[in-house]
Chain A
Amino acid sequence: MSIELTRNFSIIAHIDHGKTTLSDRLLGFTNTITTREAQDQHLDAMDLERERGITIKAHPVCMFYKAKDGKTYKLNLLDTPGHVDFSYEVSRSLAGCEGALLLVDASQGVEAQTVANLNLALGQNLHVIPVINKIDLPAADVDKVKRQLEEILQLPADEAVSASAKMGIGIEDILEAIVRLIPPPTDPGDGVLRASVFDSVFDNYRGVVSYVRIFSGSIQRGMKIQMMSTGQNYEVKDVGVFKPKMVACDKLESGDVGYVIANVKSTADVKIGDTITETRNPAKEPLPGFKEIHPMVFSGIYPVTTDDFESLKAAMGKLQINDSAFTYMAESSVALGFGFRCGFLGLLHMEIVVERLRREFNMDIISTYPSVVYEVKKTDGTELVVDNPSFLPPAGEIEEIREPIVKIFIMIPNENIGDIMNIVMDKRGMLDHTETIDDRRVMLHCVLPLNEILVDFNDKLKSVTRGYGSMDYEHAGYRADELVKMDMLIAGDPVDAFSCIVHRTKAESRGRQLCEKLKEVIPQQLFVVAIQAAIGGKIIARESISALRKNVTAKCYGGDITRKRKLLEKQKEGKKKMKAIGKVNIPQEAFIEVLKTNN
């Protein structure tokens, strides 16, 4: 098939504006999936994606469309996730495309991530076709969205296609626009194989599957190929396309999107962003790689039973190949035993990795309260990077602690400015400037510590604006602040797992909160147990758990002491899972309760 008849495109949008629904429609319209197969959110293949109604991984799919000009085109669609945490997936998909559909919900209008994703697409020189989706909704206001396209995004509104992915309206118009407006791939014409790996997954039966976009040359079964970053050579076992299931084909040609399976042994051997070339006739230069992504949020992940450490490690290795943004390193904690310090792009990313470990790998795990990466300057002048508060040097040896900050764009209705500013202030943020979007909305440009937006910033934004606010952010370096290490002491002994880094002004309330939480989750003991929060030896908050007063069953009935024994056996089992901190027994659940993300 001629490269002239190939179109590679992505669909980008703010979260929930209908990307996946539209993708499914396109698949249906082009008979790529039969009506029998067509189920809602067909492309969201993972259970997790279906359940949450969000796309986590980019899903490529190849379809054929007979256009009104009589020619049949090969369309490669790369569906992408909408959530901020996964914007790197968006950039990678975009790197394999010449154009993008920018979806805007007709009732919601342009939102923060519409802007952010458009900028990503324009940054890669893609042709962007605006699509106004959900025109079936009573609240749809197509004219207003067109004005926003022109005014906020500087896009030609007359190119915009009005559609309803849900009702199947405008689907053909969209396909025609793709064929007409998005340019075909270009090829240097030297016949040398250059394929960019934009994703890879681990398949239990087939091993490592690399997702590729061919920029020149072709690739086929039996070919000897080289991964340019490592120089390693492999033999191609299979190539194919996504329909959207993997379907083998003879070869992939310039302009194509598909998969390559080679005899790659270890998951660590495939690097996302690498270039595949032919061993016999290699390219001189690799294709431009992707911007390296660094995890921004860290948390400890521990097996509930220590025996599971090795299987957890294996599971993480497999996950990592599908998710190069996820990092892990072995660590140990007095309280939780042996586990891993893991890095994520953001909180949603973290939640998803944890869920996948639980579900897909059946791992029984605990994940600890998330932390950002701090830079620490010691009094002796040495510098230190700390991703786990328990490794912070003693307070006396710290000269300064710097924390990552972000530039955040918050798009909100005018009437919420006051409330949002209060939240920003409370989160130690500053307003940089305000930008008027239209007569109803503004964009606030603020600078905040990353740490402060980790846990509940987005939730608060959504609830204050009743869902009308949206945000996006980018990293903006490090800044020193009055950050201190807070230790939690139980019966006088510091418990490393509970240590945290907090801003001095927030230490007391966080300390009190942790003390209360610990009091709630540590069961009464035979003795009084003191719980304290301390900064450098100074107690800033305290609670105490009173001793058990009475705990005796009246009697053992009619010789039936089986029930009583079972209780004792349960107690005994439970105790095996407890950590003894001094003479205090702390159940595993208490650690989980306190350390887990959502409290």
Chain B
Amino acid sequence: MHHLYVHIPFCHRVCPYCAFYKHTPGNTQMAAFVDAVVAETRRYRDKMEINLHTVFLGGGTPTALSETHLERLLTELRETLGFEHVTEFTLEANPMTVTAKKAAMMRAQGVTRVSLGVQAWDEPTLKTLGRDHSPAEAAETFAILREAGFPSLNIDLMFSVPGQTMEQWAGSLERALELKPDHISAYNLNYEEDTDFFDKLQRGLFQEAPERDADFFFHALDTLERAGFRHYEISNYARPGHESAHNAAYWFGKDYLGLGPSAVSTQGLTRWKNIADTQRYLDAVQAGLLPQQEAEQLTPDQHQLERIALELRTAQGVPLTRLETVPPQTMATLQSEGFIEISDAHVRLTRQGKTLADSIAGELVG
């Protein structure tokens, strides 16, 4: 097992579009939470061979933990699992949750990469997204992170937000580039079930706009490529050498261990998911159990299907060997209509194909 994910389910404020498992801290005992994650970690250490190459703390908001609790968590993780071979150690952070001191502690604990959720650089879009920070505050946090000397910094942006104009989106990209991040994730807003945004979509207050999605996507692609970023996955752009190795592990079908509430793990063809409820997660761990809530056994066909769907989204593409059962007619049509190209035995999306990745994946797996 070379890849570790730890889920920290706390946010100071819950965003109306977000479907990750998270909640406000409420009266959760943070010390007990850290204890539980550590206990879970030990249980897996005794169960399987772990030799970590990448670590990713996501959320929620990992930086919502106080400096003390975060430091203890990082220390315990490192001491329990050994980080000698870790080359990439990412932490997700929200603006206004990182002080210079906390940043220095993180860096000292071996964090190499921070992913900052900025989402937008203009007030109206931030307001629609229900974010609790201003553009200036996001810039300030970014400066703190730079100052702390992390080798790789990412900025998360979202596009096609209700009401967002092309100017605002272009502005957000420009402003992000001015800060010279090493990596930018540009996410097309998804209307996720059980969110406020989804509700509004259902009630007709928000509308999906595939035209705008495409225009904004192409604008990001062109702008970021011109700025020297490589589009290496549908939603991800990196300066050469700053591609996320942890995410690549997911995309290329490596095993990963997930700790914390709602975290998912995959080992071979076995996948399991932790309890997505902080209190019940704590209870389970404290009762000496593994806090898993559901497990599934993938069939080789299902595994294959996942591989195709994920690899198709990457710049590396899908090896032709995986696509031997696709009817030649389908391949030919996708190629002649300009959705895919085939070179060095891989199928890759063309510029036009990138906006239709899901449909094309559907053609290649069906």
**Bound pair (A, B):** yes
**For the complex, is B296 an interface residue (Cβ under 8 Å from A)?**
yes
Could you say which residues of chain B place their CB within 8 Å of the CB of A572?
Answer: 305, 362, 365-366
**What residues of A have a CB within 8 angstroms of the CB of B302 in the complex?**
565, 569
Q: Could you tell me if B357 and A559 are in contact, using CB atoms closer than 8 angstroms?
A: no
Most B CB contacts (10 A, CB to CB) among A558, A562, A564, A576 go to A558
The answer to whether A549 touches B213 (Cβ under 8 A) is yes
Tell me which of B127-135, B145-153, B171-179, B187-195 binds A: B187-195
Given contacts A550-B214, A565-B305, A569-B305, contact A558 B7 (CB under 8 A): yes
Within 8 A of B (CB), among A79-134: none
B250 A553 Cβ-Cβ under 8 A: no
B185 to chain A, nearest CB (A): 8
Taken together as a complex, chains A and B put the C-alpha atoms of A565 and B365 apart, in Å, by 10
Residue B281 CB within 8 A of the other chain = no
The answer to whether A561 touches B258, judged by C-beta atoms less than 8 angstroms apart, is no
The residue that B360 contacts in the complex, of A526, A554, A558, A576, with Cβ under 8 A, is A526
- Say yes or no: is A551 at the interface (Cβ < 8 Å to chain B): yes
Query: Is there an interface contact between B250 and A568, defined as CB atoms closer than 8 Å?
Result: no
Per-residue CB contact flags for chain A residues 543-564 toward chain B (1 = under 8 Å, else 0) read: 0000011111111111111101
B210 to A: closest C-beta gap in Å: 4
Q: Which of A319-373 contact B (CB under 8 A)?
A: none
A523 closest partner in B (C-beta): B359
Q: How far is the CA of A352 from the CA of B366 in the complex (A)?
A: 37
* B266 on interface, CB distance cutoff 8 Å: yes
Interface residues on B, range: 35 or more
**With the chains together, A571 CA to B313 CA distance in Å?**
18
B31 to chain A, nearest CB (A): 24
Known: A526-B337, A551-B359, A568-B361. A559 touches B266 (CB 8 A): yes
Question: Do B359 and A526 have beta carbons less than 8 Å apart?
Answer: yes
Give chain A residues whose Cβ lies under 8 Å from the Cβ of B211: 549-550
User: CB distance B356 to A552 under 8 Å?
Assistant: yes
Given A549-B211, A550-B214, A559-B258, A571 and B366 contact (CB-CB distance below 8 Å): yes
Chain A hits for B266, CB < 8 A: 559
CB closest chain-A residue, reference B256: A559
Does A506 touch B at the CB level, under 8 Å?
Answer: no
CB contact list, A511-541 vs B, under 8 A: 526-527
Determine whether the beta carbon of A561 is less than 8 Å from that of B310.
yes
Q: Does A548 lie within 8 Å of B210, measured CB to CB? A: yes
For the complex formed, measure the closest distance between the CB of B92 and the CB atoms of chain A, giving whole angstroms: 10
Contacts of B365 in A (CB 8 A): 568, 572
Q: Nearest-CB distance from B167 to chain A (Å)?
A: 20
Q: How many residues of chain A are within 8 Å of chain B by beta carbon?
A: 26
Question: Is chain B's interface secondary structure helix, strand, loop, or mixed overall?
Answer: mixed
Judged by a CB distance under 8 angstroms, whether A575 is at the interface is yes
When distances are taken between beta carbons in the complex, the residues of chain B under 8 Å from A556 are 250, 310
Judge whether A583 and B333 touch: CB under 8 Å: yes
Is the Cβ of A551 less than 8 Å from the Cβ of B356? yes
Inter-subunit contact A558/B5 (CB<8 Å):
yes
* Distance, CA A526 to CA B360, complexed state (A): 8
Contact status A550-B213, CB under 8 Å: yes
Q: How far apart are B335's CB and chain A's nearest CB, in angstroms?
A: 12
A565 — which chain B residues lie within 8 A by C-beta?
A: 302, 305-306, 309
Q: How far is the CA of A558 from the CA of B188 in the complex (A)?
A: 17
Q: Is the CB of A554 within 8 A of B187?
A: yes
Bound together, the chains give a CA A560 to CA B366 distance in angstroms of: 21
Q: Is the CB of B362 within 8 A of A575?
A: yes
Q: Are A552 and B355 in contact (CB under 8 A)?
A: yes
Which of A554, A558, A560, A564 is close to B235, meaning CB atoms less than 8 Å apart?
A: A554
Q: How far is the CA of A575 from the CA of B217 in the complex (A)?
A: 28
B225 at the interface (CB under 8 A from A): no
Q: Does B358 contact A (CB under 8 A)?
A: yes
CA–CA, A561 to B307, complex, Å?
A: 10
User: Judging by beta carbons under 8 Å apart, are B263 and A548 in contact?
Assistant: no
Assess the B189–A550 pair: CB atoms within 8 A: no
Q: Within the complex, what minimum Cβ distance (angstroms) separates A135 from chain B?
A: 52
Question: Which residue of chain B lies nearest to A527 when distances are taken between CB atoms in the complex?
Answer: B337
Instruction: Give every chain B residue within 8 A of A562 (Cβ-Cβ).
Output: 264, 271, 273, 296
Smallest beta-carbon distance B209→chain A, Å: 9
State whether the Cβ of B354 lies closer than 8 Å to any Cβ in chain A: yes
Q: Which residues of B contact A569 (CB under 8 A)?
A: 302, 305
Q: Would you call B20 an interface residue if the criterion is a C-beta within 8 Å of the partner chain's C-beta atoms?
A: yes
Residues of A close to B309: CB separation below 8 A: 561, 564-565, 568
Write out, one digit per residue, whether chain B residues 305-348 have a CB within 8 A of any chain A CB (1) or not (0). 11001100100000000000000000001100101000000000
* Candidates B58, B187, B296, B356; contact of A550 at CB < 8 Å: B356
Q: Does B34 contact A (CB under 8 A)?
A: no
Q: Is B234 an interface residue (CB 8 A)?
A: yes
A551 contacts B357, C-beta separation under 8 Å: yes
Contact A557 B305 (CB under 8 A): no
Ranked 9 nearest A-B pairs via Cβ: A549-B210, A554-B187, A550-B213, A550-B214, A572-B366, A560-B264, A550-B355, A552-B357, A575-B366
A-B contact pairs, 25 of them (CB 8 A): A526-B339, A548-B210, A549-B355, A550-B217, A551-B355, A551-B356, A552-B188, A552-B234, A553-B190, A555-B234, A556-B310, A557-B19, A558-B7, A558-B20, A558-B263, A559-B250, A559-B266, A561-B309, A562-B264, A565-B305, A568-B309, A571-B362, A572-B362, A572-B366, A575-B362
Other than A550-B355, A561-B306, A565-B302, give 18 A-B pairs with Cβ distance below 8 A.
Answer: A527-B337, A548-B359, A549-B213, A550-B213, A552-B188, A552-B313, A553-B358, A554-B188, A555-B185, A557-B19, A558-B262, A559-B5, A565-B306, A568-B361, A568-B362, A569-B302, A571-B362, A572-B305
Q: Which residues of A contact B (CB under 8 A)?
A: 526-527, 548-562, 564-565, 568-569, 571-572, 575-576, 583
